[in-house]
Amino acid sequence: MSFSSLVHDLSLRDANAAHPNRGVASTVSTMDDRTSRTSHISRAMSYTSTAATSVSICGDISSQLHGGYCHPLARSWQAERQLTKSMLIYPLFVSDQDDEELLIPSLPNQYRRGVNRLIPFLEPLVHKGLRSVILFGVPVRPGVKDALGTAADDPEGPVIRSIRLLRQRFPHLFIVTDVCLCEYTSHGHCGILRDDGSLNNQLSVDRVSDVAIAYAQAGAHCVAPSDMNDGRIRAIKLKLIEEGMSHRVVLMSYAAKFSGCLYGPFRDAAGSAPSFGDRRCYQLPPGGRGLARRAIVRDINEGADIIMVKPAGQYLDIISDAKELGKDLPIAAYQVSGEFAMVHAGAKAGVFDLKAMAFESTESILRAGATIVVSYFAPEFMDWLSV
């Protein structure tokens, strides 16, 4: 029987069933007949609609995908990783003005706070489920910065005081400290300079690793060097071992940190813009995918516990590479200040909804391979997410 004659035949039966006295079949229908007829009719109708939508039923059944994500829960199951509150690390800028609370104009809704302002600000967020923060120290007092970044590990400086305070007040909050010198050096570069203005790698690594140890001794759960000097992961790991702390401190490497124009609002917040030159000789060039892969492999081999990619949204391929190269490590990504400011600017201009884009941009970072996201949206996500 051809397809069209099958449809015709079953349609005729359908008409006869509706008007039994008009057709040729006038015998009393049994239940079995009716069941069989219904199934033929529904099959015919399905064939008809299939033909009408030009989808081949004798072709590839795997072409039919819609059923797999027809329900909100089924849609969420399509993601390898679900965004949860515990994946988020919130950046905090802590200044050496204890009572300061200053809005950062280029970084929407973000403030620079003194130590005395931290607890009241964090209390409701921790209550809602914030699990981790990353601290950036911001010395604003005149005369604090010098060529060696001495203030970075000042025991009375904002980072070390904040670590102690947060450990005491929020015993379950995981405290990450960014480790770099650029906020504390008079020249604004991420290390100690030679006379010609280039980075002295050895001196820089010695100094950066000392700062990391000071933060770990103060109680940081995780130290995260962002300076990009060669060999600093190994140096920090060795000092953690020497100090008997390697078993209780996570070492997170900003392994693939790219130079570029997305850090502008952060530099306003942290006061860390270089006074001359730029950071292109130690941060990675935006096109340097192979270089990023080498840096990731190097830092894994030097003892990193977590690999970070920064920025995130423009470098999803690098996050994916990090997940492939470091398949046995957690991968973090930093949605940086410029990305965050762009989402706000786009929403303000009516291009998209803020919350929708906050989710889409963050979920794309997870899709690429990250399971940890450093995000300025963390406070909003504490309200938007249920777990």
Q: Which residues bind Zn ion (CB under 5 A)?
A: 180, 182, 190
Residue 261 annotated as part of some ligand binding site:
no
Beta pairing partners, 185: 146
Residue with Cβ nearer Zn ion (295 or 382): 295
To the nearest whole angstrom, how small is the minimum distance from the Cβ of residue 180 to Zn ion?
3
- CB under 8 Å to 64, separation ≥6 — which residues? 55
Residue with Cβ nearer Zn ion (129 or 286): 286
Residue 58 annotated as part of some ligand binding site:
no
Among 176, 158, 179, which residue's Cα sits nearest to residue 221? 176
Active site residue 348: no
Residue with Cβ nearer Zn ion (177 or 362): 177
Active site residue 257: yes
Residue with Cβ nearer Zn ion (159 or 368): 159
To the nearest whole angstrom, how small is the minimum distance from the Cβ of residue 226 to Zn ion?
5
Residue with Cβ nearer Zn ion (182 or 218): 182
Residue with Cβ nearer Zn ion (182 or 296): 182
Residue 194 annotated as part of some ligand binding site:
no
Is 216:244 a contact under the CB 8 Å cutoff? no
Active-site pick, 310, 323, 348, 355: 310
What tokens appear for 266 in the block? 């952060």
Residue 182 annotated as part of some ligand binding site:
yes
Among 328, 371, 318, which residue's Cα sits nearest to residue 81? 371
Is 161:116 a contact under the CB 8 Å cutoff? no
Q: Which residue's entry shows tokens 């002295």?
A: 200
What tokens appear for 298 in the block? 């190097």
User: Which pairing describes strands 101-103 and 111-114: parallel, antiparallel, or unpaired?
Assistant: antiparallel
Residue 367 annotated as part of some ligand binding site:
no
To the nearest whole angstrom, how small is the minimum distance from the Cβ of residue 170 to Zn ion?
27
Q: How far apart are CA 162 and CA 138, in angstroms?
A: 12
H/E stretch holding 373 reads strand 372-374
Active-site pick, 85, 128, 145, 257: 257
To the nearest whole angstrom, how small is the minimum distance from the Cβ of residue 332 to Zn ion?
17
Give how far Cα 155 sits from Cα of 108, 142, 164, 217, Å.
Answer: 31, 18, 10, 10
To the nearest whole angstrom, how small is the minimum distance from the Cβ of residue 352 to Zn ion?
32
Give how far Cα 238 sits from Cα of 175, 215, 219, 242, Å.
Answer: 21, 15, 18, 6
Among 132, 78, 135, which residue's Cα sits nearest to residue 373? 132
Residue 337 annotated as part of some ligand binding site:
yes
To the nearest whole angstrom, how small is the minimum distance from the Cβ of residue 253 to Zn ion?
14
Residue 279 annotated as part of some ligand binding site:
yes
What tokens appear for 203 in the block? 């001196």
What tokens appear for 373 in the block? 């996201």
Q: How far apart are CA 114 and CA 38, in angstroms?
A: 74
Please give the annotated binding residues, written as ranges. 180, 182, 190, 267, 279, 337, 376
Binding region for 5-aminolevulinate: 267, 279, 337, 376
Q: Binding site for Zn(2+): which residues?
A: 180, 182, 190
Q: Which residues are catalytic?
A: 257, 310
